[in-house]
């Protein structure tokens, strides 16, 4: 198995130069090929340890249940509410 910056090569599409994108993320109804499960119920990244840099930089507090504007927009596209309730819970657990 080849790797593109740690990401399994069969899961990426070349864009330009060394720039790659995850398969499925440039579709009308975007869905990364590495995403498993049903959005809104239970999902997981099947290559979490090898995920690309944009995924590592996207909302670093999401794993703690703390959203941001980009997270809220992404959730809205799937009919999901912002993480406001979890935000309060997680913020108090961080103190």
Q: Which lies closer to ligand SF4 via its Cβ, residue 57 or residue 93?
A: 57
Interface with ligand SF4 includes 47 (CB under 6 A)? yes
Cα–Cα nearest to 9, from 44, 38, 33, 43: 33
Q: Which lies closer to ligand SF4 via its Cβ, residue 24 or residue 82?
A: 24
Residue 44 CB, shortest distance to ligand SF4, in Å, is 8
Interface with ligand SF4 includes 66 (CB under 6 A)? no
Interface with ligand SF4 includes 12 (CB under 6 A)? no
From CA 56, how far away is CA 47, in angstroms rounded? Answer: 12
Interface with ligand SF4 includes 51 (CB under 6 A)? yes
Cα–Cα nearest to 12, from 40, 43, 54, 71: 54
- Contacts with ligand SF4, residue ranges (CB under 6 A): 22, 32, 34-35, 45, 47, 51, 55
């Amino acid at each position: 198995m080849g790797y593109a910056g740690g990401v399994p090569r069969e899961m990426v599409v070349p864009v330009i130069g060394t720039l790659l994108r995850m398969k499925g993320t440039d579709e009308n109804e975007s869905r990364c090929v590495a995403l498993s499960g049903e959005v809104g119920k239970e999902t997981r990244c099947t290559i979490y340890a090898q995920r690309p840099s944009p995924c590592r930089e996207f909302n670093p507090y999401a794993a703690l249940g703390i959203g941001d504007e980009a997270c809220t927009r992404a959730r809205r596209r799937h009919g999901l509410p912002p993480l406001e309730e979890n935000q309060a819970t997680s913020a108090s657990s961080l103190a």
